[in-house]
Homo-oligomer: A and B are copies of this chain.
């Protein structure tokens, strides 16, 4: 196993996640599986550099320096930039929560989210990872993912709500419909009271680079209008990406 200082320091950072934004030293040590004294020394070093900050309570939090380093990641610089204005248009037109997501291995990674004042119960925010089979953007991304990813996802269809699709055959049918109709939907499969529609975003080469989705309380009416709005936005993003593809 890895016992290098570097990987230990990184594991210490890895102790933070969406549900653990502030950790005491001992909590970090425990989660990273490091002796307290070691964690103390490493955390001190990370803190000195700015990768960790200390809250007023003395707990550790991710530091500003890591925040702006993270913003340099290509996930966002290219895609998010190009998409930003279209997301607003979409929000203005639908007043629904808007999502932009990419596939990260066998999960959906939310790249941007745009929520209004009042919104249906939505778990995701930027940086969140969710299973592919229970979200609209996930189904879209899965439909255009390589074979081996599909196989892995199909092998692990965990139930999230009573409506989550857990039979591989049924999900495959849905993926085929994404191909045919150009969009995916969900109905309370991730969280109760939330339905979603999503469409693929195509990059310069015509390949699917992201998915664009919105979450609404109900899909029985206005579905066509939503799909149309999504597709306009998606193709707009695609065109913008083509223009700036030099930077990637």
By the criterion CB–CB under 8 Å, are A5 and B7 in contact?
Answer: no
By the criterion CB–CB under 8 Å, are A67 and B73 in contact?
Answer: yes
By the criterion CB–CB under 8 Å, are B46 and A77 in contact?
Answer: no
By the criterion CB–CB under 8 Å, are B114 and A21 in contact?
Answer: no
By the criterion CB–CB under 8 Å, are A66 and B69 in contact?
Answer: yes
Contact of A61 among B67, B73, B92 (CB under 8 A): B73
Task: Report the minimal beta-carbon distance from A102 to chain B, rounded to whole angstroms.
Answer: 9
Identify which of residues 1-56 in chain A touch chain B, using a CB-to-CB cut-off of 8 Å.
4-7, 9-10, 13-14, 16-18, 21-22, 42, 45-46, 48-49, 51, 53, 55
Q: Chain B residues with Cβ under 8 A from A68's Cβ? A: 70, 109, 127-129
By the criterion CB–CB under 8 Å, are A45 and B84 in contact?
Answer: no
By the criterion CB–CB under 8 Å, are A67 and B127 in contact?
Answer: yes
Let me know if A117 is at the binding interface, CB within 8 A. Answer: yes
By the criterion CB–CB under 8 Å, are A104 and B49 in contact?
Answer: no
Interface residues in chain A, defined as those with a beta carbon under 8 Å from any beta carbon in chain B: 4-7, 9-10, 13-14, 16-18, 21-22, 42, 45-46, 48-49, 51, 53, 55, 61-77, 81, 84-85, 88, 91-92, 104, 109, 114-117, 125-129, 248
